[in-house]
């Protein structure tokens, strides 16, 4: 049994191929991909009824930006860890994402190993926080 088994991941990216690739990379004995969305609006609708432990979030979307959505997520699902997965390498965007609560930042195109390694680090943080909350 994996130490991170049962962590629920939700993917938000406007590119359907990227969502599919992330789903294939992430879905395993470690993580359960519980849904995805291609727009900020559909993400907000779906995340009203789906609880996620980790949310993979793109910065650039056709109907909004990921930084605004990140703030919305922090308000609606404050326990969810957000991993930014985006083509944006703008230093200001990276810094603002992390300052606004993102737990990590991966630049596309990404290496599958980097995605899993980053998720594993975030999962360890979640596990530590949950253990501390129970103590």
Tokens of residue 82, six digits: 């957000």
pLDDT band with cut points at 50, 70 and 90 for residue 1: very low
Average pLDDT of the residues of the chain: 94
Quick one: average pLDDT of 110-123?
Answer: 96
| In CATH, 7-134 is 3.40.50.970 | no
Residues 87-106 have pLDDT tens digits of 988 999 999 999 999 999 99
Strand bridging mode 81-86 / 54-57: parallel
Q: At what angle do helices 112-134 and 16-26 cross, to 10 degrees?
A: 60
Determine if residue 64 is left, alpha or beta; phi over 0 gives left, psi from -120 to 50 gives alpha, anything else beta.
Answer: left
Domain boundaries, the chain: 7-134
Q: Report the distance separating Cα 87 and Cα 59, nearest Å.
A: 8
pLDDT band with cut points at 50, 70 and 90 for residue 135: confident
Residues 57-79 have pLDDT tens digits of 999 999 989 999 999 999 999 99
**Residues 122, 50, 21: CA angle, nearest 5 degrees:** 60
Residue of 6 and 86 predicted with greater confidence: 86
Q: What is the pTM of this model?
A: 0.93
Quick one: average pLDDT of 6-12?
Answer: 96
Percent of the chain with pLDDT over 90: 85
Quick one: average pLDDT of 38-43?
Answer: 98
pLDDT of amino acid 6: 83
């Amino acid at each position: 049994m994996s130490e991170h088994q049962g962590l629920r991941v939700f993917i938000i990216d406007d590119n359907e191929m990227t969502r599919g690739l992330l789903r294939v990379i992430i879905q395993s004995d470690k993580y359960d991909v519980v849904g995805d969305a291609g727009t900020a609006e559909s993400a907000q609708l779906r995340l009203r009824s789906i609880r996620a432990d980790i949310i993979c979030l793109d910065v650039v979307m056709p109907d909004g930006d990921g930084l605004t959505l990140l703030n919305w997520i922090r308000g609606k699902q404050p326990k969810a860890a957000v991993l930014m997965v985006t083509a944006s390498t703008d230093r200001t965007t990276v810094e603002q994402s992390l300052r606004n609560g993102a737990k990590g930042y991966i630049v596309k195109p990404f290496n599958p190993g980097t995605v899993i390694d980053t998720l594993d680090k975030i999962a360890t943080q979640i596990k530590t926080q949950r253990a501390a909350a129970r103590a």
